Amino acid sequence: MNVILNLRKFVLVLVVFAIIVTPYSSPSFGIQKMIWPQDPFTIIAYEYRSFSGGSFWSFKKPTPMLSYEKGKLTFYEFEIVEDETGKHYSPVLDEYGSPVKVDPADKDIVKKAEKIITSRRLFGKLDGPQGRIALGMFSQEDDNYYKWKYCIFGKDINRSQYISGTDKIYPVGSISYLDEDYNFEVQAYHGHAYQVERREALNPEYYDRYEIPGLAMFGEASYINRQSGAGYLWLSAKDPKVVINTVEYAYTDFALVLSESNTPFIDLQFLSDVLFAPMTGDGETYTIQRLCNIKTTEVELVKLTLTKDSKKALIDGKEVELSEPPFMTDTGLFVPLIDVCKLLKANCHYRTTDNSALVARFFAPMNE
């Protein structure tokens, strides 16, 4: 009997241990929880506006408002001062003249974050590898109405504020992040410091673009529904399955692989099939053609010629250089994903956060 009881305890321990250590299982249809946080960035305050309104004034010295690194948000202290420009927010400096950080455990951190993100009294620029990001704050108007207030930060100052709905309910004061490659993160405040509540590399096909703060403003997502049945191609360097127009397909061979320098490469024949772009080749040189409907009344034929092991390519007869040369495998020719999609006028997003890629099969203005 003791042996049986001990065996049961051992099995129970194994089950509990398995539950604890089993890694996150990614859901289907190209919606994956990311392993890595976003790239680091800082929002630098360049301008302020007094509480009486009117003109925008420049800080004598730009100062950080908010920074993000390794999944952690850091806010900076601002206080109300009064001078010839009126009452306004000004950075709090220590005895050495350095900006003072807000204590993550500060009980007023939500109010201080709101001051920085949505007060519209401080205006800043993005310092980071991202082109633009949308930062939002979750709010509640009444018992049944929740919304995001968000601002867009880029290399230039944007003084506008936007509002979106939400696909989920979060604690009031939660902060959202979205970049132009559709990396999305929500950090929530549950009474002690901000913590990651959600982190995904989004496939916009699964979301109402007016319920993710910033989604309606970035990239080609707003064009998805204009051409029924086109949708996105989603694929990953970690999983051979692919998703085309929200339909999942299981493959044994990877259509997306990474080079030694971690550059994403895609099987050219596969890309040809997905984009309805005919391809011909002789084992050395391959030509792919795509008929692009750039505007309602304009159609353009794009012809791209690629050569195995050569960085030189021809686009409509004009020589261009690829970031890396195509290479041959047992399954076919693999080409640099981002380069080739750009040349074929197919908007493409590669996310290092989870090694997934989105390729727009529908036509839309090209992202820069």
Residue 22 lies in a domain: no
Q: DSSP letters along 324-363, please? A: S--EEETTEEEEEHHHHHHHTT--EEEETTTTEEEEE-S-
The sign of the CA dihedral 313, 315, 318, 324 is negative
Residues 251 and 334 in one domain: yes
What pLDDT does residue 228 have? 60
Match 């500060």 to its residue by tokens: 106
Q: What is the DSSP letter of 9?
A: H
| Per-residue three-class SS string for 197-210 | EEEEECCHHHCCCC
Question: If residue 48 lies in a helix (H) or strand (E), which one and from where to where?
Answer: strand 41-49
pLDDT of 3 reads 37
pLDDT at 313: 97
Residues 200 and 237 in one domain: no
> Within this chain, do residues 157 and 253 fall inside the same structural domain, yes or no?
no
Q: Any idea what the CATH number is for the domain that residue 346 is in?
A: 3.30.457.10
Distance CA 356, CA 104 (A): 32
- For residues 248 and 177, membership in a common domain is answered with no
Quote the mean pLDDT of the chain.
88
pLDDT given at position 91: 97
Confidence of residue 300 (pLDDT cuts 50, 70, 90): confident
- Look at residue 135 and give its three-state secondary structure: strand
Is 143 in the same domain as 239? no
Minimum mean pLDDT among 140-144, 185-189, 327-331, 354-358: which range? 140-144
Neighbours of 244 (CB within 10 A): 18
Spatial distance between the Cα atoms of 248 and 207, rounded to a whole number of angstroms: 17
The pLDDT score that the predictor gives to residue 237 is 95
Q: Could you say which DSSP state residue 41 is in?
A: E
| pLDDT at residue 357, rounded to an integer | 97
29 assigned to some structural domain: no
* Structure tokens, 209: 């673009």
User: What is the structure's pLDDT at 13?
Assistant: 37
Rg of the chain over CA atoms, in angstroms? Answer: 25
Q: Are residues 180 and 50 in the same domain?
A: yes
Q: What is the pLDDT of residues 81-115, one digit of tens each?
A: 999 999 999 999 999 999 999 999 999 999 999 99
Do 250 and 174 fall within a single domain? no
In tens, the pLDDT along 54-66 reads 889 999 999 999 9
Residue 23 has pLDDT above 50, yes or no: no
Q: What is the pLDDT of residue 226?
A: 52
Tell me the CA end-to-end span of the chain in Å, nearest whole number: 71
Domain that holds residue 56: 41-206
181 with 253, same domain?
Answer: no
Within a domain: 218? no
| 298 & 330 share domain | yes
Cβ contact 213:178 at 8 Å: yes
The amino acid at residue 123 is: F
pTM for the model stands at: 0.86
